Structure 1
Amino acid sequence: MINCARFPLSMLFWHFLACAVVVSVAREPAWNGFVSPASDRDTQFTPYYVPPGAKAYDSNSPLLDFSGRWITSFSPSYAHHTSRWTHRLDAYVLFSFHGTGIEGFGTTSDTISCARIYIDGVLLETIKPWSKKTLAQQRLFWTFDLAPDKHTIKIVNCGPYLDISAFVVTNAKRSLDRSSPAKSSASSQVSPLPRRDTSVTSTWRLTQKGSTGVEAMQISVVSSEHAVIIDKVEHNPLVINGHPAWAALYNLKTHSVRPLAMGSNSFCAGGSYLSNGTLVNVGGNPVVEDRVGAASFGDLDGLQSVRLFDPCKSGSSSECAFYENHDALHMASGRWYNTVTRLTDGSVIIVGGSKKGGWINNATVNNPTVEFYPPKNIHGYLGLPIPLPFLQRTLNSNLFPIVFLLPDGTLFIAANRDAIIYDWKTNSERALPQLPNGVRVTYPMTGAGQLLPLDPDTNYTPEVLICGGSTINDKQAGYEISALTPASSQCSRMALTDEGISEGWQVEHMPEGRVMPDIVMLPTGQLLIVNGAGSGISGYGNVQHQVGQSNAANPRFSPLLYDPRAPRGERFSTKGLPTSDIPRLYHSVATLTPDGSIMIAGSNPNLDRSEMKYGTEYRVEWLNPPYMAKERPAILAKHTKSIPYGQSFNLQIDIPNGLNTETINFILMDLGFITHSVHANSRFVYLKHQVSTTNSFVVSGPKDEGIYPPGPAWLAVVVGGVPSQLVEVMVGNGHSPPVDEAAIANVRKTFKATQKPKSHQDDTAE
């Protein structure tokens, strides 16, 4: 339980957050009724877990070589009912294995302990297992980025006490399938546009470094040093409070990871930022109980949850935490697979979703409404959900709709094969032309969309691009759908002006089909298309010809570059782009980071953690565009911290010799909140500027909140196609969005008491 007295009063809406008594309510069955192998026991949820495809070795295995005095203990509380412990300084255990990863488990307590972990003779880390209470079957250490070869681990006691119960070795033989399905044959007709200078001649570079600790289902860069990663309740290797974590803070500079406590099940939640910089994470899944290993985890129902995270602004992350108070802080209705977007007043709109965990949406669980956070009294609904007929017409494939704020303050929304412009202030819809060729673009026939760069030279004309998806019929039952049905290669593009809408969607094609792609906006104005599969659809455990549990097959290992300002027929390129060997399918993410590199993580088309094909991925890859190898311009240290609307500010720029200074652009970017191919709030705005003196510029802020909504942003200068690192700024005054007390009070009445978490959630462990 959170101590409300410790909650910072500067956090948004502190005035209505209060500690409340919670009572137990019934739990929900497993996600979509699907049960993964070896998950048919409802037992106490501990970090010890042997995923399908991995192999366990208990402390009595003859393959383990113990040196020094070790004592064997037997108890049902231990993994495999056995454990070995020692008081002897420098006593060690030696174990040779084949695999790409290994985890060690044992008992933690309030006894001071210490162990040095060596892999192949090299010190990996020194651990100090400790917990307030004695806890068995705890994960003491883990590593998942070893070469697929033979390795030796040595664990040396460096303290008064060390307990080893079992090892779990990750299978090194996950086979890959690089076959590609047939491409779509639709034609391509796109009008040329003038090109900005984005030419860089060196090559791309892909490296693997770091582990996320929790599977990267959701990700957002929250500061210059950190990204927050959010998963569902499952057996992740990162541990907090004596059980696996399902959220983490990843240090972008050191690649270290710290678990974050989260009370409710955030499975398939949405997220966005408020105008004051607070990250809002909303929705999720009920408590999973029926015959699932996570049954006794202690999590709360996440369907109506609102989780607040005040981003870390310094190298220290010790004070960064999620805040939850489910009786005082929640949505008016349950939402699973919702999309969240920041509005011109700094609040967020929460669009669609399902009232209950499942797979393909249907009329019995559909939530065809929008609501706002903080709640507002609009159209007479006093904070309660507002019907959006578009989300009824677009059943069944309409979860995680594609939503973008347009410069006039309205919203572009796409779901299934349809799209509208929605005016949330008047609660009215304007129908747009249907996406061509029967392609569906939202979950589970998942494509991806981006709002193309907004440019004052074109009067900020909004233009959207949607790529990938599937032509599979969303009314078919799962047993009639195949994981081998080719994904769509179609990209549909339209300018959202009267003339552009009249002309309709302009179609072009990627070199190969993709479902579940990520589209990452680069500071050059180009778009990187990465991740996804060549066949099937999103999800797991539902269709024919599954690969393991995956509903998709044929991973796309090679990224693709799209230049929106290149002439027709020249926009796609694979030149110089490297190929990965890690499948990134369902529950994968990719995001631009402040140094200009692309962070790629995740993939888990499984109910729980698995090491089978296609298993759970914790490895992180870093894709460096060619500009990363060049000498780059820089915004000098004394830069502006806030950018006002309609006003100018001065910037000093350091420009290296050799860069083409004929083309200089200043840009504002929102890196977005990324999950399930939705890059919510992703935004790119060119700023007007004038030269003041050598290397000194007068830059104009956005003219109004429609061009860039108030809230956090990233500022960069691009010289001759080479961008600087991104600098964190605040657009607007940084104030909180408007608060409507009556609407808040009305929403609070709609909530049922949450279930009380298990007592072990109050334990502490480091």
Structure 2
Amino acid sequence: MSLVLVLVSLASVLAQPTTLSGGAPTPTILSPPSQPSSTGTIGGFEIIGNSLVSAQQMFLGTLDKVFILDKVENNEARIDGHPAWASEYALGENTARTMNAVTNTFCAGGTVMGNGTWINIGGNSGVTYGGDTADDQSGGGPYDDPDGGKSIRTLVPCDDNSCDWIVAKSMTSRRWYPTVETLQDGTAIIIGGCNNGGYVNDAGQDNPTYEFYPSTGTPITSPFLADNLPINLYPLTFLLPSGRLLMQANRATIMLDPKTHKEYQLDDIPDAVRAYPASAGSIMLPLTPANNWTATVLFCGGADNDDWSQDWDIASFPASTSCVRITPDKSKSYTKDDAMLEGRSMANLIALPDGRVLCVNGARTGTAGYGNQSWAIGMSYADNPVLTPAIYDPAQPAGARWSRTGLQASTIPRMYHSSATLLADGAVLIAGSNPNSDLNIGPKIKYPTEYRVERFYPSYYNARRPQPTGLLSALGYGGPAFDVQLDADDLGGDAHNAANASVVIIRTGFSTHGMNMGQRFLQLDSTYTAYEANNSATLHVSQVPPNPAILAPGPALLFVVVGGVPSVGVQVMIGSGRLGTQTISAIGDLPESSFLSASSADGTGGAQANGALSMARGQQLFGPLGLVVGLVLGARTLFDFAL
């Protein structure tokens, strides 16, 4: 069959409705990812633009657009005649446009739901100059910012500058500093918060409850939240493969069953307070076939403090160096991990596609928060910013996990109200920092309102990236495997490098206050067939494990990593693309990994086997559609080899 005829047949088949047995929307074959559009200084930072509003909250919404939320303040950037407190940052052009978040998003929470809609939850009262509470809470001068304490704002990200925030619903109670986590059905749980705010929580304004969005009824009281005043704001929360939620606040830890509402007591966290305002970095470590996708959560830094009054010099109090980890579906106890290279509060821990973790932002002394106390640094409750990042490698043995070899310092302090997120090209975007009650800029301000946006370039950034073919736009929970093709350039000219190839999915999360809510790293199971004849390979890749609690449904980035170098990520939909119970299918079988030497076939043996395998496995995965796609991939393989 000619390649032209194959393409005509493909167009005909694409017009027919098909489904994926694993429950995902019908996938398409994505174009191979390209190389990054530029290079960067490895291990260093580059100031690339202006965010228009300070990035207190930030997330990657599309491959090109990052969405930013601030608290209401007197930003120079305007929208509809008042200061803006939301923006969209275009990565390709390094430009920003203002957006209208409608109500005050000060210290809100957020996540992406299973249908791809982002939500931003809660906030605080409308304010006037200096951050003081406004007399009119329905909007009006000078900032035109209605009360956001009960707000649920939604956004469907776009690339054409047409999207904006919508206040979709109101909660039944106010939530300032709530945590939000996506559940296995793609809905969200909204946890905790307080009515009006302060440095820490207190019984007079506590909201020790959780609820769901879309709403399932009256909020449910959590004894765990009620018992852990005053440090129960922004409780550190992770969906576990068991379907339970790990929750950590003050020094206490539980697992919560969101279906039965039962709380299971775990051991107290040692060494330091980790939740806001101690604000340790926290992250779920990579879920991989090697660890059977078992969740281990790492906490690093914070403050070993039990006096949360404001009548002493908090800004000089040393941050903790302690790191601890827990595997809550297997054990109720924490274990000590390697200490950080220096104490940090307000650090962001960012999952990189090579399996390592970037630690960036934060301060050596003090905590989150600001105020007018005499000991404050301006208004900041922290001092001595940590400008040099560090790398944590969970694959290294104990005692060798932290390093900063080859890493350079930023010139911008990033402390309270800063944020960071992974980008599709594998760089990390860093923005924000604003320990001030209102806009505060000028040459004599030590920690001003910060608008500068930076990129950080990990060690792999300038390497030639894999450009795999056969990547799917959607993945289900279980179902038949699919094939991904790597050519000689992708494998560095050596087919043996297929043994060091993997396919990983990362939910980049909603970044605020040292957290990336919903961040997750999952490695898919895979095997390979490598061909010495042309130094190419086929990766045989499983769908997502058949348990949505391992990786919640919704959009995510997919990377193919070869020898520690990731492709540019593509955006894929995990699950059905809808809210509700996800379809679960048996996981498809993978062939054993194999290496076909040149002597095992004639000069085109590798290409012929590669093409035939694409056709056969395409038929297995998608029936007629897969057969045609497989024919195209197979024909391309033969054609490329002939050239």
TM interval, short-chain normalised = 0.7 to 0.9
What corresponds to 1:298 in structure 2? 144
- Greater CA drift, 516-525 or 230-239: 230-239
AA matched with 2:209: T
Contact 1:480 1:544 in 2 (8 A): no
TM-score of the pair, normalised by structure 2: 0.78
* Residue 721 of structure 1, aligned match among 557, 564, 568: 564
What corresponds to 1:250 in structure 2? 89
AA matched with 1:681: G
What corresponds to 2:222 in structure 1? 388
Q: CA deviation at 1:331?
A: 1.5
- Greater CA drift, 333-342 or 393-402: 393-402
In structure 1, distance between residues paired with 2:360 and 2:285: 17
CA change 1:536–1:661 in 2 (3 A) is same
* Residue 683 of structure 1, aligned match among 520, 537, 556: 520
What corresponds to 1:625 in structure 2? 458
What corresponds to 1:712 in structure 2? 555
Q: CA deviation at 1:661?
A: 3.2
Partner deviation per Cα, 1:505-531 (whole Å, 9 max, x = no partner): 324311110111111110011111110
Partner deviation per Cα, 1:252-298 (whole Å, 9 max, x = no partner): 11111011112100000000111100001110001124865895211
Q: CA deviation at 1:629?
A: 1.1
What corresponds to 1:742 in structure 2? none
Does the alignment pair 1:519 with 2:519?
no
What corresponds to 2:153 in structure 1? 307
Contact 2:202 2:229 in 1 (8 A): yes
The equivalences for 1:200-211 within 5 A come to 203-211=42-50
AA matched with 2:492: N
AA matched with 2:478: G
Partner deviation per Cα, 1:300-325 (whole Å, 9 max, x = no partner): 1101100010011x4x22x1111125
In structure 2, distance between residues paired with 1:642 and 1:543: 52
* Residue 697 of structure 1, aligned match among 524, 530, 539: 539
In structure 2, distance between residues paired with 1:544 and 1:293: 19
AA matched with 1:695: A
What corresponds to 1:492 in structure 2? 324
* Residue 398 of structure 1, aligned match among 232, 237, 259: 232
* Residue 346 of structure 1, aligned match among 155, 172, 186: 186
* Residue 730 of structure 1, aligned match among 541, 566, 573: 573
In structure 1, distance between residues paired with 2:500 and 2:223: 46
Other structure's SS at 1:483 match: helix
In structure 1, distance between residues paired with 2:193 and 2:420: 22
Q: CA deviation at 1:686?
A: 0.8
The equivalences for 1:319-398 within 5 A come to 319-325=162-168, 329-376=169-216, 383-398=217-232
Does the alignment pair 1:657 with 2:492?
yes
TM-score of the pair, normalised by structure 1: 0.66
Q: CA deviation at 1:568?
A: 0.9
The equivalences for 1:419-430 within 5 A come to 419-430=253-264
In structure 2, distance between residues paired with 1:254 and 1:289: 34
The equivalences for 1:224-623 within 5 A come to 224-289=63-128, 292=131, 295=134, 296=141, 297-312=143-158, 314=159, 316-317=160-161, 319-325=162-168, 329-376=169-216, 383-437=217-271, 439-474=272-307, 476-498=308-330, 500-502=331-333, 504-541=334-371, 543=373, 545-611=375-441, 612-623=445-456
Q: CA deviation at 1:658?
A: 5.0
In structure 2, distance between residues paired with 1:389 and 1:481: 32
Contact 2:115 2:578 in 1 (8 A): yes
Contact 2:510 2:518 in 1 (8 A): yes
Does the alignment pair 1:645 with 2:477?
yes
Q: CA deviation at 1:603?
A: 0.5
Contact 2:211 2:218 in 1 (8 A): yes
Q: How many residues align?
A: 521
In structure 2, distance between residues paired with 1:584 and 1:289: 25
* Residue 671 of structure 1, aligned match among 508, 520, 530: 508
Other structure's SS at 2:316 match: coil
In structure 1, distance between residues paired with 2:523 and 2:318: 37
In structure 1, distance between residues paired with 2:202 and 2:132: 28
Q: CA deviation at 1:667?
A: 0.6
Q: CA deviation at 1:410?
A: 0.8
CA change 1:209–1:289 in 2 (3 A) is closer
Contact 1:265 1:299 in 2 (8 A): yes
In structure 2, distance between residues paired with 1:395 and 1:434: 15
In structure 1, distance between residues paired with 2:372 and 2:223: 28
In structure 1, distance between residues paired with 2:384 and 2:267: 31
In structure 1, distance between residues paired with 2:133 and 2:83: 10
Partner deviation per Cα, 1:619-641 (whole Å, 9 max, x = no partner): 111111111111111233x5311
Q: CA deviation at 1:652?
A: 2.9
The equivalences for 1:191-230 within 5 A come to 203-230=42-69
What corresponds to 1:187 in structure 2? none
